[in-house]
Amino acid sequence: MKRLLILAIAAYASSTFAQTLKSNIPYVENGHARHVLDIYMPPNAKDAPVLFWIHGGGWQAGDKTSVQVKPKWFTDKGFVFVSTNYRLLPEVDMGTLIRDVAKAFGWVEKHIAEYGGDPKQVLVAGHSAGAQLAAILCTDERYLQEQGVGLEVLIGCVPVDGDTYDVPAIIDVAETRNRVHGLPMPTYGHRLKFGDDPAKHKDFSAVTHVRGDKHIPPFLILHVAAHPDTTAQAVHFGAVLKQAGVPVTVFGAKDTNHTKLNADLGLPDDPATGALETFVNRVLKRKG
């Protein structure tokens, strides 16, 4: 069954629609080996909306090439699709890691028109750790401002099954669970990944930075309905956005898991993809 699914995904991804891929484009001059991104372009792209994708991997692993069928789905809809790498923990700290992603975004703003994209219509999305990075980039304006960019260029944000929109909450939940069940504490869990400092934990939380007066874009928060941690984080983050007057949809996907939810995005008849299509159509209409 697993092999059949892989073959089906490969067949769908290589179907007749043409797209052009430019790989390993540096976004920092003389930078690190991971300061690179990939751009997938539909034919004859001009002033096309842009999807800026941030991979997951616990901030310690992952790669920009782990995009499954998402580039095809978005380029089919006329988007230019960008997938970026960034330096990882523990080589750099969380603040530096986030700034790498912001630098990639800043490069896109300056250069995406050369690849047929519109720098004023960018949709940000990411899975797992990438969901936290997408959410913080779209709520804490300081990271983009350092690159000379404002939140007003964003048309939407789609974090996929993240568990760290509220970092102190997930630390409390995880550590309480281990303590109650007599389990050892993780040697490099969220507490340490996010700086082992309550002030940093709060500052790296998207919920901390939500306000209704700063051009935060509409959100579609996708999560696994059966996963208690990502569900709680999604519902809480959605409530904070809604209270601030930010348009938000929270969609819990059934009969899936953390990996499959991400891998299936862009496949026909996938319920989360249906929610994504509705959201994309809505934000493009609003922007137009």
CA 121 distance to own-chain centroid = 16
Q: How far apart are CA 202 and CA 62, in angstroms?
A: 25
| 149: helix, strand or coil | coil
Active-site pick, 15, 66, 83, 128: 128
Q: Is 178 left (phi over 0), alpha (psi -120 to 50) or beta?
A: alpha
Spatial contact of 147 and 106, defined as CB atoms under 8 Å apart = yes
23: annotated active-site residue = no
Place of tokens 């978005």: 74
User: Which residues have CB under 8 Å from 214's CB, separation 6+?
Assistant: 141, 151
Look at residues 140, 40, 26 and name the one whose alpha carbon lies nearest to residue 86. Answer: 26
Spatial contact of 55 and 127, defined as CB atoms under 8 Å apart = yes
**Helix axes of 167-180 and 228-243: crossing angle, nearest 10 degrees:** 150
Place of tokens 């970092």: 167
Angle (CA) 36-42-46 rounded to 5° is: 95
Pairing of strands 248-253, 36-41: unpaired
- Show contacts of 197-200: CB within 8 Å, 24+ apart: 198/168, 200/94, 200/95
How many residues does this entry show for the chain?
A: 288
CA 258 distance to own-chain centroid = 14
**Catalytic amino acids?**
128
